[in-house]
Amino acid sequence: MSGAKDQKSYPKLDYDQYARTLPADDLWGQVKRTVAGSPVDSSHIERIVDAIRTGLQLAPGDSLLDVGCGNGALSRLLFDSCREFLGVDLSEYLISVAKSRFESLPAFEFLAQGVVEYLRKEPTPERFTKALCYGSFAYFSAPDAAESLHLLFDRFRNVRQLFIGNLPDLDRAADFYTTRTPSEEELCAHDSPIGIWRTKDEFATLANGAGWQVRFSSIPGLYSAHYRYDALLYRPAN
Ligand SMILES: C[S@@+](CC[C@H](N)C(=O)[O-])C[C@H]1O[C@@H](n2cnc3c(N)ncnc32)[C@H](O)[C@@H]1O
C-alpha cells in the first residue's frame, strides 16, 4: 500500500532521470562532478585520475573493471593505462552516452546493469586484475554495498586492488551541510543526493567483513576533500 508513510523526508536523486535533463555534452554535469553548478576544473580531474592510477598501480597489462562508471567521462581517461576495460552502470541513459562517445570494442566496453546483478553473473570474473568504483559506492543500497564487496573478493579472484573513491565521510557531514542539517534518515539513504555517509571506521568494518584490507587517502585541495575520502582495498598477504 502506498501513502504518506512511504513519503521520504529528504530530497532524492535518480542519476538516470537527472542526467536526461542535461545537455548531451554536459558530461561532468550528468555525473554531478560540479561545484556550485559548474563542472569542476580540469586540474581536479587530472588529480583524480592520477590518484586512481597510483592507487591501483595500473599497468599496461591490466584488465580494469569500473562499477558505477556513469557516462564513462572519467573511465576513458584511464583507457591508455590498461589493456582492457569494462564499465558497468545501472543507468541505461548514462551507458548509452558512454557507448556512443567512448566505447571501442572489443577492448573498451560499457554495460548497463546493476552492480550486484553484474557481479553475480559475470561469466569470466577472473579476467579482471584491478577494479574501480569512483563516486558511486555511496549510491548502492546498504545490502548491495556489502554484497558487492563480498562478490568482488570471492568471485574476482585476480583483482588485487580495488579503488573506492570519493566516499562521503559521516564525521565531516557538517563541513558539507553548512546551510541545513540533514536528518539521520537522509545520511543513511542511498537514494539521497549524496548517498550513504560512512565514517572511515564503518567503511573499514564493511570492507574487512568481506575479506579486504583498507588504506585511506585523500587528495589535498581537491574540491571535495573537506568531506570525502578515498579507500584502497587490497587482499591480505598470505
Ligand atoms: C556520481 S556518478 C559517478 C560516475 C563515475 N564513476 C564518475 O566518477 O564519473 C554515480 C553513478 O552510480 C551509478 N549507480 C548508482 N547505483 C548503482 C547500482 N546499484 N549499480 C550500478 N550503478 C549504480 C549511477 O547510475 C551513477 O552513474
pLDDT value of position 7: 65
**What CA–CA distance (Å, rounded) separates 52 from 28?**
18
DSSP 22: S
Gap from CA of 73 to ligand 1 centroid (Å): 12
Q: Where are the beta strands (DSSP E) in the chain?
A: 34-35, 38-39, 63-67, 84-89, 108-112, 130-134, 161-168, 213-217, 228-234
In the chain, % of residues over pLDDT 90 = 93
In the chain, % of residues over pLDDT 70 = 97
Residue 111 φ/ψ, nearest 5 degrees: -140, 135
Q: Mean pLDDT, the chain, as a whole number?
A: 95
Q: Whose CA is nearest to atom 4 of ligand 1?
A: 70
Q: Whose CA is nearest to atom 2 of ligand 1?
A: 31
Out of 3-7, 27-31, 166-170, which region has the weakest mean confidence (pLDDT)?
A: 3-7
pLDDT band of 2, cuts 50, 70, 90:
very low
**What CA–CA distance (Å, rounded) separates 64 from 66?**
6
Gap from CA of 39 to ligand 1 centroid (Å): 17
pLDDT band of 204, cuts 50, 70, 90:
very high
**What CA–CA distance (Å, rounded) separates 61 from 73?**
22
What residue ranges line ligand 1, CB within 6 angstroms?
15, 31-33, 68-70, 73-74, 89-91, 94, 114-115, 134-136, 139-140, 144
C-alpha distances in Å from residue 39, one per residue of 5, 27, 147, 192, 212: 37, 9, 32, 21, 33
Q: What average pLDDT does this structure show over 70-79?
A: 98
Ligand 1: atom nearest CA of 115 is: 20
pLDDT value of position 66: 99
pLDDT band of 6, cuts 50, 70, 90:
low
Q: What average pLDDT does this structure show over 208-232?
A: 96
- In this prediction the pTM is 0.96
Question: Domain coordinates of the chain in residue numbers?
Answer: 15-234
- Confidence check: pLDDT of 4 > 70: no
pLDDT value of position 144: 98
Which CATH fold topology does 15-234 show?
Rossmann fold (3.40.50)
Query: How is residue 129 written as a grid cell?
Result: 586484475
Q: What average pLDDT does this structure show over 214-219?
A: 97
**Residue for grid cell 543526493:** 193
Beta bridge partners of 132: 66, 163
**What CA–CA distance (Å, rounded) separates 107 from 76?**
12
- Confidence check: pLDDT of 159 > 50: yes
